Structure 1
């Protein structure tokens, strides 16, 4: 995906449609059209970590090639960040000459791979007509969803539509390799803090088993799965959908790991470190204990508030019903006054004991929910982090 101003995009789309150079692709017979999937490797910026792709249509007579992609957004759009927070992202379709489009990624150090696809003349013409229709200003926009309606699923769906649905039929029958959470954590692992924030914010939706069609929301997965697809050869047999594949430009950036990192050990150690520090400072450095516990309670309360807002007030369905809300709750804010009163030697009230009991009960429920058969959300790392923190805080704050 790329950031491009809307005004420039609209002008570019109009020029592509009316200039003679684009007319050769727009008017070429289907037999002259070559269809390829262009896959770009992940970039360095967070919104580039998932990679990108485009459909290339090439006129074999004139040599002209146009790339169609669905990954354009604009930071300057009205209420952009508010819409982002609410889960109502607005994206656009774009079209560029292939050479211009690929040069951008080559200069950025991102890999470029071209897969030429076995489309019949009728399928190629149908795909071209659909893409040109989709490029019109009234049709170019869509509401972006990270997992089910993004720049790659739009490319995948356009290819499948032109192929008569055979791509979905074949990929639906094959299991996926990872869940949404695993793919997200894997691709964001080069930016650890953002990776942790995303993992913390994802609910059970992100842990459902996926088939190959669903997992093809990622460019590299779609690229791999197309190699397994087959189409009719026109003579009663089958042939691979990918006729040939060529690495146009190698990747010069850090490559994401093949699997998601296991966060259980590092977060367990972090939880034990925070819990141990709370115990140690309470015994030997009371003001340090109050400050450390304040930081934890503020953080837990803020995280819980954000998780609650994501569930109740936004369209981020991947964050709904997040069991981490039992571990990090706005209830933490209610413990702050008692914590600071304890600095003056004042005992905790019955109200404070009640809040602590409710929070510990919530933590125990989160543990039990995870142990029950059929549990979907995989939040073991955050259970292992929160448990020692809350136990040591409860031990220090309860009324004696």
Structure 2
């Protein structure tokens, strides 16, 4: 009954401009309170960048719910859909205590910013969230950069204010790229192997400079964006207030980073390459086959991610300069006395040298820990181009 009276009151207020001038004071008694929740990063890769959700409290109806655009179903075809860029995320609704309990267990802090909207705007936003949560509307195709749980929260708020939301600039003078922003979180989260994987799979489009609005695909940047945003000259949100304060669960990554591991691999193979002997030659034969075959498989994966998926940032990938898909075939001919095999690896050698020289000037920022891999490709290719049969007759006679 109280909600019906409130709705009738708002209808009168919206329909009669002369009455609306007297409304602001009474609208302070609106039963709705809507806040933006920003959650700190966690240990798992999916939580490395934090999270955003919207909390709705209705004192009349006794509602305290969280609208969460970051829900997905871990079905048997989860990985297949994720790789192909067809994974659906959903808007879910859960009780605030249940939501907060999850973050308490994961030791992730939560802060909230209350939306400074009129009662009419709050009701409109709440209605939009409820419509979004219907089964026929709640699913969407996830895009990490342009359509995720954070951008969805930003857009539904911005689309339900009476006047446009004006976002102040939150970017530094040296505007970062998407990759720069992602790296900053992976470095804080001590995720060097995840950083390597992302740098390998995502192409040159990730190196575009972000716009002010685009930077808000990250929860912390949306918090900053909302903190200074204005509607009709008034601040959109109140100052951030802690809801849950927890110690960070992030731990160090250890000493076996990609750079350390790949550098050690390069030094070991370099040592074996300089050492003579039949056993060494056999070991190098096995290594070269596995090494170039794996590089070829990586190249095929990059081609598939470029042409066979719906992902928007896996195209134009310069990692194909070292992960040549043709290695999958040539790996089976390693060690054969053949001029064409020697010519192939000579070409690979020169391509690797060019890649190493231009490493820091490419349109795509390649992961620095791949530099030892590029050096290893150049070294082994040079050896294979000179001596594809693994050692001279004198070396084999040494036994």
- Tell me the TM-score normalised to structure 2 length: 0.79
Q: Which residue of 2 aligns with 1:54?
A: 53
Query: Alignment partner for residue 171 of structure 2, among 155, 170, 175?
Result: 175
Q: Which residue of 1 aligns with 2:209?
A: 209
**Helix, strand or coil at the partner of 2:238:** strand
Larger radius of gyration: 2
**Helix, strand or coil at the partner of 2:91:** strand
Gaps of 5+ in 2: 11-26, 388-399
C-alpha contact (below 8 Å) 1:106/1:112 kept by paired residues:
no
Q: After the TM superposition, which of the residue ranges 267-276 and 84-93 deviates more from structure 2? A: 267-276
Q: After the TM superposition, which of the residue ranges 107-116 and 54-63 deviates more from structure 2? A: 54-63
Matches within 5 A, 1:276-315: 276-284=267-275, 285-315=280-310
Distance 1:148 1:28 in 2: 39
Distance 2:239 2:7 in 1: 24
**Helix, strand or coil at the partner of 1:319:** coil
Q: How many residues align?
A: 357
**Helix, strand or coil at the partner of 2:334:** helix
Q: Which residue of 1 aligns with 2:330?
A: 335
Query: Alignment partner for residue 340 of structure 2, among 351, 362, 373?
Result: 351
| Structure 2 residue 307 is the aligned partner of structure 1 residue 318 | no
Q: How many angstroms does 1:133 deviate by?
A: 0.9
Distance 1:394 1:332 in 2: 11
Q: How many angstroms does 1:32 deviate by?
A: 2.5
| Structure 2 residue 83 is the aligned partner of structure 1 residue 85 | yes
| Structure 2 residue 362 is the aligned partner of structure 1 residue 363 | no
Q: Which residue of 2 aligns with 1:387?
A: 374
Distance 2:330 2:60 in 1: 74
C-alpha contact (below 8 Å) 2:131/2:137 kept by paired residues:
yes
C-alpha contact (below 8 Å) 2:57/2:65 kept by paired residues:
yes
Cα distance, 1:174–1:51 mapped onto 2, change above 3 Å? closer
Cα distance, 1:359–1:382 mapped onto 2, change above 3 Å? farther
**Helix, strand or coil at the partner of 1:162:** coil
Gaps of 5+ in 1: 1-19, 233-237, 342-347
Q: Which residue of 2 aligns with 1:254?
A: 249
C-alpha contact (below 8 Å) 1:331/1:359 kept by paired residues:
no
C-alpha contact (below 8 Å) 1:275/1:392 kept by paired residues:
no
**Helix, strand or coil at the partner of 1:34:** strand
Distance 1:136 1:391 in 2: 56
Matches within 5 A, 1:1-16: none
Quote the RMSD (CA, aligned, Å). 3.1
Distance 1:101 1:279 in 2: 53
Q: Which residue of 1 aligns with 2:195?
A: 195
Distance 1:206 1:195 in 2: 13
